[in-house]
């Protein structure tokens, strides 16, 4: 499609509008596929982030001398710009591969999740832990039935931040050819065509808000003892 004229009204019915509803209607399968791919990348990165972060957080809490190195390493990963990280991973995992995108996205969740898990566990009252030990709770049972449930609000807060952050970063993965809502945004920028750009941006924002609300709702269900 050729470069388009300056953007017109939001509700206009031609290619010069911010959202050309005719284009949207004809490309609903494309938009739906981009949304699903965005969710898959986000979910994969968050799932791997949790699998990696929880053991590291437990290690950092159990052996305090490891906490500083773990947080420093995850903090360094968090500070690397996404484009630079894609480039650094490229020679090993492919410059335009799904693996590169997943590794990069996962690395950005680690600092947030590890720090919040450690903070949540540190926030469990010492008298509660001592009472559970006095009742004969073994370390694993103590962790699973007392410490983690009480630390859940801080852990969920980290998951909420990591989720919203990852949803935004998945858009950047479109630069290395990964599907998702970012592909719509980059396509709109490349062709100076506002409709796919606006659709991708609006859906990404809506997805982040909806995910945050759903996780917050899940926290309420999992922690019924907390005041509303």
Mean pLDDT, range 130-146, rounded to an integer: 91
- The conformation of residue 13, written as its DSSP 8-state character, comes to S
Give residue 223's pLDDT. Answer: 77
Residue-wise pLDDT for 196-211, tens only, equals: 999 999 999 999 999 9
CA atoms of 158 and 110, how far apart (whole Å): 10
CA atoms of 46 and 180, how far apart (whole Å): 16
Closest among 173, 164, 209, 204 to 196, alpha carbons compared: 204
Range 143-150, long-range pairs (CB < 8 A, 24+ positions): 143/58, 147/121, 148/121, 149/222, 149/223, 150/120, 150/123, 150/124, 150/125
Mean pLDDT, range 10-17, rounded to an integer: 60
113 and 162 Cβ atoms separated by less than 8 Å: yes
Residue 30 has pLDDT above 70, yes or no: yes
pTM summary value: 0.88
The domains of the chain are located at 27-222
CA 41 to chain centre: 9
Angle, helices 28-62/181-191, rounded to nearest 10 degrees: 120
Give residue 227's pLDDT. Answer: 66
Q: Which CATH architecture has domain 27-222?
A: Orthogonal Bundle (1.10)
Mean pLDDT, range 146-155, rounded to an integer: 92
- Cα dist from 108 to 24, 45, 71, 137, 158, whole Å: 32, 9, 12, 35, 12
Residue-wise pLDDT for 51-98, tens only, equals: 999 999 999 998 999 999 999 999 999 999 988 999 999 899 988 899
151 and 120 Cβ atoms separated by less than 8 Å: yes
């Amino acid at each position: 499609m050729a470069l388009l004229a300056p953007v017109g009204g939001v509700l206009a019915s031609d290619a010069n509008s911010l959202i050309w509803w005719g284009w949207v209607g004809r490309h609903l399968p494309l938009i739906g596929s981009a949304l699903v791919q965005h969710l898959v990348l986000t979910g994969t990165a968050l799932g791997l982030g949790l699998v990696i972060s929880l053991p590291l957080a437990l290690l950092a809490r159990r052996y305090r001398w490891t906490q500083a190195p773990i947080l420093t390493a995850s903090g360094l990963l968090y500070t690397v710009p996404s484009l630079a990280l894609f480039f650094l991973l490229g020679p090993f995992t492919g410059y335009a591969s799904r693996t590169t995108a997943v590794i990069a996205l996962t690395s950005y969740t680690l600092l947030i999740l590890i720090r919040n898990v450690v903070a949540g566990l540190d926030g469990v009252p010492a008298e509660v832990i001592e009472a559970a030990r006095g009742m004969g709770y073994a370390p694993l049972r103590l962790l699973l039935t007392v410490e983690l449930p009480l630390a859940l609000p801080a852990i969920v807060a980290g998951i909420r931040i990591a989720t919203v952050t990852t949803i935004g970063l998945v858009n950047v993965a479109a630069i290395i050819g990964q599907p998702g809502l970012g592909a719509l945004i980059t396509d709109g920028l490349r062709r100076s065509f506002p409709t796919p750009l606006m659709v991708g941006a609006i859906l990404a924002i809506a997805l982040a808000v909806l995910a945050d609300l759903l996780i917050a709702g899940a926290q309420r269900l999992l922690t019924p003892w907390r005041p509303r």
